[in-house]
Amino acid sequence: MSEINWQKSSYSGQGDGAECIELAAAGTIRLRESDDPGVIVTTTPAPLKALLLGIKASEFDGDASPVTTAPQPPPITQP
């Protein structure tokens, strides 16, 4: 198995405090965060392009509802 060549932006700093997104193109596109390199997201060019265009167009800004995994109980009120 060949080693993956990870790349990061030249705008990213160097050293331990330089957290950034790294990218590797090895048949598919792989993304990881430099401070947690064990977690890798794999995609193909079309979905990544759609995501980047959406980010640039501010499609993900605004009042997003928080994600919950279970229904929240009603608030407790005092009589």
| pLDDT tens by residue, 37-48 | 899 999 999 999
What residue spans define the domains of the chain? 17-54
Q: What percent of the chain has pLDDT over 70?
A: 77
Residue 35 contacts by C-beta under 8 Å, 6 or more apart in sequence?
Answer: 19
Question: Do 22 and 40 contact (CB within 8 A), yes or no?
Answer: no
| Model pLDDT, residue 53 | 92
Whole-model pTM above 0.75?
no
